[in-house]
Amino acid sequence: MDDITREVLNIVVVGHVDHGKSTVIGRLLYDTKSLPEGAIERVKKIAKEKGKPFEYAYLLDAFEEEQKQGITIDTTQLQFRTDKRDYVIIDAPGHKEFLKNMISGAASAEAALLIIDANEGIQEQSKRHGYILSLLGIQKAYVVVNKMDLIEYSEEKFQEIKQEMNEFLNSLHVFPLKYIPISAFHGENITMLSDKMPWYKGQPVLQAIDFFEKDKGLEGKPLRFPIQDVYKFDNRRIIAGRIEAGTLKTGDQILISPSNRVTKVKSIEYWAAQDKKGSASAGMSVGITVEDEFFNQRGEFISHSHDAPVTADIFKVSLFWMGKKDLVKNKEYKLKLATQEVECEIYTINKVINATTLATLEDATSVQTNDVAEITIKTKREICFDEFKNNQNTGRFVMVDGYDVCGGGIVTGLVTERQAVSTLSKQDAEMVVHCFDEYYYVFAEGGIKKIQATPRSFTIGDTIPTTGMTYAYPEDFNVLDRNKNLVAKIRKSKLEDVISFNEYQYDAKPMIDTQGSYIRINSAEKFKKFTRDLEKLRQGEQLTLTTVANQWFEFMEFRQIRYLTVDKPLTIEYHI
């Protein structure tokens, strides 16, 4: 049963149009005896019909149009094997207008061969493809310099190309592991070292590819389990999805983000008896049941509490654009990241990069087809993700314009100049609060104005400004964050704890929301009813926020509104 345990590696072959990608692949298939009997005959028949000599490239051009144009219009997947393992080889079109097909192919690859024509040298698409490899996070790449026969197998010319390409790729943080001079047409340096290039001391292509090492260690990364769907086919309520990183075990305490709820894994479900297991890890499509049956939905991330993903609605990305229409500001796009889908807008275009010259445009107002850009994206609601450098699977996304995927990108960073706010936090549990803001009636404006408190972060043990100019909370109270499902306990005017709402038990202390509104709860029974209403609100069952707020919230309980004659730019300092 060695076939079952054999390793498989996906390799994409990229490069400028006519630099010989299809010939290289055709040759690899031929030399590894991977072609079915019919294929060669069929292609020879076609070549004969067209009055052309047989070429290895024809093996790949399955479509009529391709053979007419002599270009590969889409990605093709072919397979061959060496002693070490099986390969799935992805041929990606080199023509500029087929960039979207090149990306579709390359996105599933673990390693890449970048083909350069020795005679023509580095061309526009050689560089663009190099750039895209870096954006796709494909670090394992060889540069294959083809058509060496056309330059008399010259070492000097080979070294020139190597140096030029290396400079370009290194600036993109792509470091090709090898440069291999070949002639695919004549079969030089494909299976055996060529006697035409005795100066080359490396391996021929077929031996060199066995040196690519497969990615390992996704299982050991922090757990990322995006919910794909929730099934209730029978009495089980199964949360289904694919584990993108890490390992999950029965009994694990898990955090569900961004709703911030904590529960435990009750079971890992299965149908076929052989699939029964107590733990599951990266790459597996699984289903679990949990102890607390919250309302879960597609898009939420399950992680371990101590290693939660980032939750934010604004972040920096690198992106390549393939849309027919330009990517512009002030327009809504759909962003898909793992199983999340959210409306988003371009917040700022920081830089547009010409992927060929690496020339940058700092004041661009749009991103055009085949451009690469650094932008800041604002999503309509908070989503979960990781920076690409920390986790590839949860750090990349696509953007949809109309019906089609038009862009792909990776999250490169968070926006550090966050809108300044006050927070109450304990380790990862953090709530943003507005309860220390002051409200004045401003004569000059004829209305009520909120003046934001100086942003401050309070952690456990910090003294809280319970009394301000226009508010006065008791010494002991609780703050509820509905969105994050957290409760902060203030005792003797100090932040004592921040806990999950699910862990909170009614303690007869007054509770306010993050805006400072008193919540009309004065008994355990009322607390129970309020909890039920919150859950209904969350599930969108009849109750609206207006109904809930008017029934339960009292804005003026701990506040008063004072008067100001002018609207002077005030900052309020805490009086602690």
Partner 1 sequence: MDHLDRLEAQSIFILREAYKKFGKLGMLWSIGKDSTVMLWLAKKAFFGHCPFPFIHVDTTHKIPEMIEFRDRKAKEYNIELIVHKNEEALQAGMGPDKGRLLCCKALKTDGLQQVVTKYEFEGLILGIRRDEEGSRSKERVFSERNKDSEWDYTNQAPELWDQFKTDFPKGNHIRVHPILHWNEMDIWTYIEREKIELIDLYFAKNGKRYRSLGCAPCTGQIQSKAVTVAQIIEELKTTKVGERAGRAQDQEDSYAMQKLRKDGYM
List binders of partner 1 among 246-285 (CB under 8 A): 269-272, 274-275, 281, 283-285
Write down the least CB distance from residue 219 to partner 1, Å: 9
The CA-atom distances, in angstroms, between 210 and each of 9, 36, 91, 166 are 9, 23, 18, 22
Distance CA 67, CA 43 (A): 11
Write down the least CB distance from residue 233 to partner 1, Å: 4
Binder to partner 1 among 5, 330, 416, 565 (CB under 8 A)? 5
Binder to partner 1 among 24, 29, 78, 255 (CB under 8 A)? 78
The answer to whether 321 touches 355, Cβ cutoff 8 Å, is: no
Q: Does the protein bind partner 1 through residue 79 (CB under 8 A)?
A: yes
DSSP letter assigned to residue 47: H
Footprint of partner 1 on residues 163-222 (CB under 8 A)?
A: none
The residue behind tokens 């060889």 is 142
For 369-431, the DSSP string reads: TT-EEEEEEEEEEEEEE--TTT-STTSEEEEEETTEEEEEEEEEEE-SSPPP-EEEEETTEEE
Q: Of 270 and 441, which CB lies nearer to partner 1 in the complex structure?
A: 270
Q: Does the protein bind partner 1 through residue 75 (CB under 8 A)?
A: yes
Q: Of 161 and 227, which CB lies nearer to partner 1 in the complex structure?
A: 227
Cis peptide before 198 (omega within 30 of 0): no
Q: Does the protein bind partner 1 through residue 65 (CB under 8 A)?
A: yes
Residue 133: burial class (beta carbons within 10 Å; 0-12, 13-18, 19+): buried
Torsion angle, alpha carbons of 102, 104, 106, 107, to 10: 150
Footprint of partner 1 on residues 376-415 (CB under 8 A)?
A: 396-398, 400, 402-406, 408
Q: Of 176 and 226, which CB lies nearer to partner 1 in the complex structure?
A: 226
Q: Of 109 and 197, which CB lies nearer to partner 1 in the complex structure?
A: 109
Which helix (H) or strand (E) element contains residue 320? strand 310-321
Neighbours of 423 (CB within 10 A): 16
Q: Of 69 and 170, which CB lies nearer to partner 1 in the complex structure?
A: 69
Q: Of 59 and 424, which CB lies nearer to partner 1 in the complex structure?
A: 59
Is the four-CA dihedral 142, 176, 95, 8 of positive or negative sign?
A: positive
Distance CA 370, CA 319 (A): 10
Q: Of 397 and 518, which CB lies nearer to partner 1 in the complex structure?
A: 397
Footprint of partner 1 on residues 285-314 (CB under 8 A)?
A: 285, 287, 298
Write down the least CB distance from residue 501 to partner 1, Å: 28
With contacts defined by CB under 8 A, name the span among 19-27, 63-71, 115-123, 505-513 that binds partner 1: 63-71
Q: Does the protein bind partner 1 through residue 229 (CB under 8 A)?
A: yes
With contacts defined by CB under 8 A, name the span among 95-103, 302-310, 412-420, 513-521 that binds partner 1: 95-103
Q: Of 286 and 486, which CB lies nearer to partner 1 in the complex structure?
A: 286
Footprint of partner 1 on residues 105-134 (CB under 8 A)?
A: 107-108
Q: Of 241 and 468, which CB lies nearer to partner 1 in the complex structure?
A: 241
Q: Does the protein bind partner 1 through residue 49 (CB under 8 A)?
A: yes
Residue type for position 559: R
Q: Does the protein bind partner 1 through residue 237 (CB under 8 A)?
A: no
Write down the least CB distance from residue 258 to partner 1, Å: 20
Q: Select from 197, 184, 191, 113 the least CA-distant residue to 146.
A: 184
Q: Of 332 and 362, which CB lies nearer to partner 1 in the complex structure?
A: 332
Q: Does the protein bind partner 1 through residue 37 (CB under 8 A)?
A: yes
With contacts defined by CB under 8 A, name the span among 21-29, 41-49, 160-168, 568-576 that binds partner 1: 41-49
Neighbours of 285 (CB within 10 A): 10
Q: Is 529 helix (H, G, I), strand (E, B) or coil?
A: helix
Q: Does the protein bind partner 1 through residue 83 (CB under 8 A)?
A: no
Q: Of 75 and 183, which CB lies nearer to partner 1 in the complex structure?
A: 75
Helix axes 124-136, 99-106, angle to 10 degrees: 40
Torsion angle, alpha carbons of 337, 340, 344, 346, to 10: -10
Footprint of partner 1 on residues 325-364 (CB under 8 A)?
A: 334, 336
Give the count of residues interacting with partner 1 (CB under 8 A): 71
Write down the least CB distance from residue 41 to partner 1, Å: 10
Q: Select from 120, 87, 83, 89 the least CA-distant residue to 24.
A: 89
Write down the least CB distance from residue 44 to partner 1, Å: 11
The CA-atom distances, in angstroms, between 32 and each of 86, 109, 196, 550 are 11, 20, 22, 74
Sheet holding 422-426, edge to edge: 429-433, 422-426, 457-459
Q: Of 379 and 422, which CB lies nearer to partner 1 in the complex structure?
A: 379
Q: Of 252 and 269, which CB lies nearer to partner 1 in the complex structure?
A: 269
Binder to partner 1 among 55, 62, 124, 177 (CB under 8 A)? 62
Distance CA 192, CA 198 (A): 12
Distance CA 353, CA 338 (A): 26
With contacts defined by CB under 8 A, name the span among 33-41, 161-169, 459-467, 504-512 that binds partner 1: 33-41
Q: Does the protein bind partner 1 through residue 231 (CB under 8 A)?
A: yes
Write down the least CB distance from residue 407 to partner 1, Å: 9
Q: Does the protein bind partner 1 through residue 64 (CB under 8 A)?
A: yes
Q: Does the protein bind partner 1 through residue 38 (CB under 8 A)?
A: yes
